[in-house]
């Protein structure tokens, strides 16, 4: 059997045919054009499914199911997408609409959960009985996988690592709460720390790299400057790592998974970031003599969206 995975993003719809072992056999994509009615977007998703099945040279009978990863909150039972800010979707009957085009089983989940599942099926956490993935991008996403299945929580609220409170009464968050992990461990947070640093120390390497323009500072410029040893960049980077290490330690103290996987744009800092975290974590952890969750980088990159969505049906 093969599995169709659809990675529905605010910019692109990527669709793939995925093998039992989580390899992409064929792939296609189209623009989301998010401002359209949802019916049009879903029609394009269905067209991509047809196209990619043909491209992979498989028969319809060989297709087990279709999985869809969405950038928002969905209920897999009802098949309704409650909310997708990027797409402007509220209460969209995604499964019902897709079933106008296909009679295959359709599975829907959040993109961060889907990425965690992908890593556990075909990435760095293969074979782990429990894993937690933290996606460090513009925001912070999370996904928990137990015995090969996403743990959605009892009410679909699970894995929202980005909206755990890290700093009581801290920086206001888009979710309406204050001091969320997302406000301290995302690319957006790193950039905020960096801009704050510029008000005190404007002669720093990352502002120079950004051509002196505060608005051109991004996570990569700051981390590159830290790698080069710039004192300001190191202060900013170390603050970021301090918060991220606390978040990882909180997941360890509460849930203690076999592995914690870091993905998303900021994790492209790679081994440099892993080394920083692995140095800090033992100081935070209780029970110094016990083993602790491995902290590793995600392996699958952009492909995780298709692979994980496909594996929802496995």
The Cα–Cα gap between 81 and 85 comes to 11
Write down the residue that tokens 């980077």 correspond to. 237
In the bound complex, what is the minimum distance in angstroms from residue 143's beta carbon to its own copies?
A: 11
Q: Smaller CB distance to its own copies: residue 5 or 293?
A: 293
Q: Smaller CB distance to its own copies: residue 33 or 175?
A: 175
Single out the residue of 260, 278, 245, 244 nearest to residue 145, CA to CA: 260
Candidates 126, 158, 238, 274: give the one binding its own copies (CB under 8 A): 158
Candidates 105, 268, 285, 299: give the one binding its own copies (CB under 8 A): 285
Candidates 59, 103, 215, 289: give the one binding its own copies (CB under 8 A): 289
Is 21 an interacting residue with respect to its own copies (CB under 8 A)? no
In the bound complex, what is the minimum distance in angstroms from residue 53's beta carbon to its own copies?
A: 35
Torsions phi, psi for 140 (to 5 deg): -125, 120
Is 157 an interacting residue with respect to its own copies (CB under 8 A)? yes
Is 254 an interacting residue with respect to its own copies (CB under 8 A)? yes
**What x-and-dash track marks residues 110-149 binding its own copies by CB under 8 A?**
-------------------xx-----------x-x-x---
Query: Of residues 229-248, which lie at the interface with its own copies (CB under 8 A)?
Result: 242-243, 246
User: What is the binding site for its own copies (CB under 8 A)?
Assistant: 73, 82-83, 129-130, 142, 144, 146, 151-161, 163-168, 175-177, 242-243, 246, 249-258, 283-287, 289-293
């Amino acid at each position: 059997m093969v599995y169709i995975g659809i990675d529905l993003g605010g910019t692109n719809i990527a669709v793939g045919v995925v093998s039992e072992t989580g390899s992409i056999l064929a792939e296609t994509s189209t623009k989301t054009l998010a401002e359209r009615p949802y019916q049009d977007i879903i029609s394009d998703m269905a067209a991509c499914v047809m196209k990619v099945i043909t491209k992979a040279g498989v028969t319809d009978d060989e297709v087990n199911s279709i999985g869809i990863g969405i950038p928002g909150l969905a209920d897999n039972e009802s098949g309704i997408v409650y909310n997708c800010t990027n797409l402007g979707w509220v209460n969209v009957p995604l499964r019902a609409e897709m079933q106008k085009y296909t009679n295959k089983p359709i599975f829907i989940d959040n993109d961060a959960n889907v990425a965690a599942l992908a890593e556990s099926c075909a990435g760095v956490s293969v074979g782990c009985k429990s894993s937690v993935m933290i996606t460090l991008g513009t925001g912070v996403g999370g996904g928990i996988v137990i015995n090969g299945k996403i743990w959605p929580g009892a009410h679909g609220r699970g894995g929202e690592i980005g909206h755990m409170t890290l700093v009581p009464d801290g920086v206001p968050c888009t979710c309406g709460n204050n001091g969320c992990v997302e406000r301290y461990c995302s690319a957006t947070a790193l950039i905020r720390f960096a801009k704050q640093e510029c008000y005190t120390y404007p002669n720093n390497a990352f502002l120079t790299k950004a051509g002196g323009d505060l608005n051109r500072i991004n996570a990569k410029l700051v981390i590159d400057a830290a790698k080069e040893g710039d004192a300001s960049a190191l202060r900013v980077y170390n603050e970021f790592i301090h918060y991220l290490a606390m978040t990882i330690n909180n997941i360890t103290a509460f849930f203690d998974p076999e592995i914690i996987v870091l993905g998303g744009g900021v994790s492209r800092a790679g081994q440099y970031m892993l080394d920083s975290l692995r140095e800090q974590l033992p100081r935070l952890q209780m029970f110094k003599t016990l083993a602790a969750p491995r902290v590793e980088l995600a392996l699958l990159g952009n492909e995780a969206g298709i692979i994980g969505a496909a594996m929802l049906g496995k």
